[in-house]
Structure 1
């Protein structure tokens, strides 16, 4: 039944110059909307998270959200019409060097000023939020050997996890062998019984051994193989890593010498235990693996001697990420992260904002926030080169939104980007980094990565992020092998539906029961607990160890 919609919590006008409204709840067609000094009728049902017009548009008229250009009308759009791909297309403003706009209102961070977290102090001055040993291949030919080492180590050293789903298969297999029909099997509720695992760690101060595999290292461009060495060097020198075992075949593009050079770039005085073994030099697989086992065990003994000690919050490097975004991302979880980002910058921490295809349309604001013209120019050049490469391959930034994004209200890349950029807060941008470089300055850093969640998270961690904050509107089950990835839901509905992967509910902002700042304060307190090892992020509990290097070709 149609109604008169006047309550502010039914819709949202984000910015004074916006000419669309966001539905915070499902709105019915023919309802009367009272907005400012006008009243109009909704022409369609408007699902929550979607937008509708406040004015009548003609073809070619510009659509604004978050105060920036996000689309262009391709048909006549009546006042009160649902905004969709049928009536608008992506549009964004061009950008130039602009002027430096570096003033920002620092948040009050007095409550955290003297706070510390319990971390692992490394010889290069960095501090880890975890203590891992990593085993990595320089080329995909070594993936099998990495997996063999994983099978050899994990359970014996107490890092195994209960194999609940193996129990489920055994239950179904037993039913099948006893003559149960397929319908019987489908209608049977599978049971979970306690599974005995060796949960007593041999090395209690080592959080785990992480085995990373990938499909690069050879048979690709030298640019990609060199970038892989830089990425792996980022993981080896990462503060959450105590040491590493590297398996090389010997003949691949990504040579051990290139890896060692990349390590020296990131840590000239590198002193961590590093084991590099070459299969073609060692001879048989048995010789290679037995040597790897002995040397890795020795490295674990050394890693176990490192203990958590207090560290200032300035030693945190926070990665900002979003995935499975929806129409609430830019008005709940992402602005909450923007507040968090500003707070950590004010505390002297490093913060990383990445996903360059999802900064399309807000380039001018970000250029103006760069501390100097060379930094702004580097950002402009990376954005233009990346988009030109994408367009040359038949898919510009405009093609970034996924079907899930579009279904839940993010119908153009500029709409998605304007909301995604909110994660970066308002502080000045101190550096712009190309992939796979490492953060070296406190403050907000921009890192060139794809919008692909896992590729971007993988790159942020290589750049030094020792905690990643990941907002999601649809639910994205991903994590990282060495850095905790804390998930934040954009709605309470998602938080309740997927409690196994979501750590923090930001939907209270939509419900108006908490402010952006109040949610941000909860996030910061939770980050300190995770960084100290007091609680685990859900992604760490589930061992979501996703690791995908970026093949420098087009990935949106």
Structure 2
């Protein structure tokens, strides 16, 4: 069967999406319309379904996503040169809480094997964290990393490129020229397993570095303490070692208060060391190493046990998006979201700059007016701050997004919002709060992939589903990040970082529902510790706290 050439996403749309490259003069037959492609359309890009005048609206996903800069003939490709970003205004509307719950009978009574914490949460992993309260302690954290990681069996040997460097040194010593070096075959067999773990029930000791804690605003340092408290109290964390200098804005007392807010009866090992009180670096590090080792002995007593799927809290992310994101991987995640909500689980939709243009729909889906108003307030204040600094939400699409069909923020947003499915919004949370209420949660974060993923995990996500159309290696230190390709070419081109192919939806070999079922099965395997996503295998431990200044 020939693949479909194009798609109209919503009955009210006046543009079509090319599913394949369409040469100039390609005949388009759609409903009662017959016309020719004017300029040629690359796959993932859009072309007009009808002639448009200057200032006319461009509609996709049933919403306003742009306006024309000039008259456009029928069959013309839309570009950044001939349209510009536009989105509908939004106001407080009526509640629209009806939704069609998906059939979840295939997952009835299913469980995953997780780590049960005393506060009722369940982890999909069991990590120990070493964290600096301020950038001044980054070096000491790295000293601890060098001392502990390999000795305890947590160094990911598949990442080591030292053999390649050894080979280059050998060639240089043998008299190789620059041309010889550049053309040399230095492929080394690196397919080694990780070292044997000393603590079998501890998935890793992860060392977080950041550039915050002092020198910035008090708002940022307080938010950092809240973020770190979210990691320390996270169900995937068995305990933590915290290094503090002592004089910084981000005080240990603020961190403890944030921990108590999130878990008043917090009972996991937590060791905080203040260098200015302890004197020498040697004393600080010796005490930190001894206590960390003792904490790991305690953490190693934990064992996985069955947990219902409603103990999953899934973070929804997209990065390196393309023109297929909103019609393959993101809708598949939306179906997964609806399934998990129907089973009593939690999902988190974030990246507020990428919800521009769909505010009305999401605010109408909020369970009460106070949450709808909260969402609208956060969107307006965030965009106003961005515009005051010279870059509103309209500037969100990256060059890669634009090259692959997402030419306005509203087009990108309309597709990105599909990750959230159709269920009611049960809570709206500002960064760096907790967003794990059963149901769909909205969390205010930037569109920046790593900042947003970092925040979602702090908010309670114990698994992250991350869609990408261009390819991105993003991971997280404590929560498994599962990467989903929007197209088969990407899946085949970057198999080292992609876990699941959603391009089958574009090709017509799999429905959104079938793909979503396959995703959820994979999530269960990952949450049970049976399967490791590629980001975990690579040790892709990305961690970037958000400064509340502008980041899109």
Task: Give the TM-score of the pair, scaled to structure 1.
Answer: 0.98
Q: CA deviation at 1:464?
A: 0.3
The answer to whether residue 473 in structure 2 is matched with residue 460 in structure 1 is no
User: Structure 1 runs of 4+ off > 6 angstroms?
Assistant: 195-198
Q: 2-side partners of 1:307 and 1:215: how far apart?
A: 35
- On the 8 A contact 1:164/1:195 being kept in 2, the answer is no
Which residue of the partner structure matches residue 3 of structure 1? none
Name the SS for the 2:544 alignment partner.
coil
1:197, distance to aligned residue in structure 2 (A): 7.7
Shift of 1:183: 1.6
Q: Distance in 1 between matches of 2:362 and 2:192?
A: 52
What is the 5 A alignment of 1:517-532?
Answer: 517-532=513-528
Deviations 1:277-335 (A, max 9, x none): 00000000000000000000000000000000000000000000000000000000000
Aligned partner of 1:542 among 535, 538, 544:
538
Distance 1:555 1:505, change over 3 A: same
Q: Residue 149 of structure 1 aligns with which residue?
A: 144
Q: Which residue matches 2:470? A: 474
Once the two structures are TM-superposed, the CA of residue 193 in structure 1 deviates from its matched residue by: 3.0
Which moved further from structure 2: 447-456 or 7-16? Answer: 7-16
Matched position secondary structure for 1:298: helix
In 1, Cα distance between equivalents of 2:184 and 2:505 = 40
Between the aligned partners of 1:161 and 1:445, the Cα distance in structure 2 is 34
List gaps (5 residues or longer) in structure 1: 1-5
Q: Is 1:179–2:175 an aligned residue pair?
A: yes
Number of the residue aligned with 1:112:
107
Q: Is 2:351–2:446's contact at 8 Å kept on the other side of the alignment?
A: yes
The verdict on how the C-alpha distance between 1:176 and 1:219 changes in structure 2, with shifts beyond 3 A counting, is same
Residue 118 of structure 2 is matched in structure 1 by: 123
Partner in structure 2 of residue 140 of structure 1? 135
Tell whether the 8 Å contact from 1:139 to 1:252 is kept in structure 2 after alignment.
Answer: yes
- For structure 2, which runs of at least 5 residues remain unmatched after alignment? none
Q: Does 1:61 align with 2:60?
A: no
Residue of structure 2 in register with 1:353 after alignment: 349
> What corresponds to 2:19 in structure 1?
24
Superimposed CA distance per residue, residues 369-389 of structure 1 (whole angstroms, 9 cap, x where no aligned partner): 000000000000000000000
The answer to whether the 8 A contact 2:95-2:368 is kept is: yes
1:255 maps to what in 2?
A: 251
Provide, for residues 52-108 of structure 1, a one-character-per-residue CA deviation record: whole Å limited to 9, x for no partner: 001111111000000000000011111111100110000000001101000000001
The reply to whether residue 168 of structure 1 matches residue 164 of structure 2 is yes
Kept in 2, the 8 Å contact 1:332–1:490? The answer is: yes
Q: Which residue of 2 aligns with 1:436?
A: 432
Equivalent in 486, 489, 494 of residue 490 of structure 2: 494
Report the 3-state secondary structure (helix = DSSP H, G, I; strand = E; otherwise coil) of the residue aligned with 1:70: strand
**Structure 2: distance between partners of 1:470 and 1:230:** 24
How far apart in 2 are the matches of 1:348 and 1:8?
A: 38
Q: Report the secondary structure of 1:475's partner residue.
A: coil
**Residue 73 (structure 1) aligned with residue 68 (structure 2):** yes
The answer to whether the Cα contact below 8 Å between 2:347 and 2:436 also exists between their aligned partners in 1 is: no
- Structure 2 Cα separation of the partners of residues 440 and 44 of structure 1: 48
CA contact (8 A) 1:330 1:422 kept: yes
Determine which of 279, 286, 303 is the counterpart of 2:282: 286
Q: Distance in 2 between matches of 1:215 and 1:257?
A: 20
> Offset of 1:429 from its aligned partner?
0.2
Matched, 1:265 2:261: yes
After TM superposition, list the pairs within 5 Å mapping 1:26-425 onto structure 2: 26-162=21-157, 164-194=160-190, 199-425=195-421
Task: Give TM-score, length-normalised by structure 2.
Answer: 0.99
Give 1:164 shift.
3.6
Contact 2:323 2:405 in 1 (8 A): yes
What whole-Å deviation, never above 9, does each CA across 1:476-501 have from its counterpart, x for those lacking one? 01100000000000000000000000
Residue pair 1:155, 1:197 contacting (<8 A) in 2 also? no
For 1:9 and 1:258, the matched residues in 2 are separated by 57
- 8 Å CA contact 1:129, 1:483 repeated in 2: yes
CA contact (8 A) 1:104 1:427 kept: yes
Q: Is the Cα contact below 8 Å between 1:160 and 1:197 reproduced in 2?
A: no
Q: What is the deviation of 1:166?
A: 1.0
For the 8 Å contact 2:321–2:470, the answer to whether it is kept is: yes
Native 8 Å contact 1:155 1:198 kept in 2:
no
Asked whether the 8 Å contact 2:435–2:442 carries over to 1, the reply is: no
Partner SS, residue 510 of structure 2: coil
CA distance, structure 2, for counterparts of residue 128 and residue 477 of structure 1: 23
Equivalent residue of 1:199, what SS?
Answer: coil
Q: For residue 261 of structure 1, report the CA deviation from its aligned partner.
A: 0.3
Q: Flag the 1:369–1:235 CA change in 2: closer, same or farther, 3 A.
A: same
Q: Which moved more, 1:432-441 or 1:458-467?
A: 432-441
Select 1:426's aligned residue among 422, 426, 429.
Answer: 422
Alignment partners' CA distance in 1, 2:463 and 2:187: 35
CA RMSD in angstroms comes to 1.1
Worse-matched range after superposition: 167-176 or 20-29: 167-176
2:479 pairs with one of 474, 479, 483: 483
Cα 1:122–1:80 change in 2 (3 A) is same
Q: Indicate conservation of the 8 Å contact 2:348/2:436, yes or no.
A: no
Deviation at 1:441, TM superposition (A): 1.4
Provide the C-alpha distance between the structure 2 equivalents of 1:79 and 1:194, rounded to a whole number of angstroms: 55
